[in-house]
Amino acid sequence: MSGGIMTAQTLAQTTEDLVHANRILMRKGVLDAYGHVSVRHPEDPRRFLLSRNLAPLFVSTADIQVHDLEGATDDPRPGYSERFIHSELYRARPDVHSVVHSHSVSVVPFSVVDRPLRALWHMAAHLGDGLPVYDSRGAVDGENLLVTSRSMGADLADVVTARVR
């Protein structure tokens, strides 16, 4: 739903939609067992919904946690360590309504070659001249390849949102 119009939905409807998104994206190969999808809270843009740390195929409505833009939640169950990808993208882009973190086998190879990801047909024209690639190896938290802090999430958000500012 990035950049689009978010229709007025209840929290219950949005939660149910997020559960379906987890399962659909997993079954279509966009998400693997470690990927995650979130959605901005329908009633409070300073919060977002993300499941607890669980493989997307098994997510139910009871597994959805509410996070603030600091990545914090009142839910005591373990959440995703990379929730800062979501929190910092929502902070940087108020117009973004959903974030997907994927390890898709059709996309990951592009992260290790020195070639831009470019549009090959008209339906991908929104990519323009290519997409920015975030390299966590040189990120603010050193050797950790996971985006597990607000500072790393902000670094990622700076890279991937630079073209749209």
CATH number where 113 lies:
3.40.225.10
* Mean pLDDT in residue range 77-98: 97
Q: Would you place residue 165 in the very low, low, confident or very high pLDDT band (cuts 50, 70, 90)?
A: low
Global model pTM greater than 0.75: yes
Q: Is 143 a member of any domain?
A: yes
Task: Give catalytic status of residue 82 as yes or no.
Answer: yes
Listed range (51-60, 67-76, 119-128) with the worst mean pLDDT: 119-128
Question: Which residue in the list 16, 43, 82, 143 is annotated as catalytic?
Answer: 82
Per-residue model confidence as pLDDT tens digits over 71-82: 999 999 999 999
Domain that holds residue 156: 11-164
DSSP string, 96-147: --EEEE---TTTGGGGSSSS-----SGGGGGGTT------GGGSTTTT--S-
What does the mean pLDDT of the chain come to?
89
* Residue 5 covered by a domain: no
Residue 2 lies inside a defined structural domain of this protein: no
User: Which pairs count as long-range contacts for 95-98, CB under 8 Å and 24+ apart, including other chains?
Assistant: 95/2, 95/3, 96/1, 96/2, 96/3, 96/40, 97/1, 97/2, 97/4, 97/6, 97/39, 97/40, 98/1, 98/2, 98/21, 98/37, 98/38, 98/39, 98/40
Q: How many domains does the chain have?
A: 1
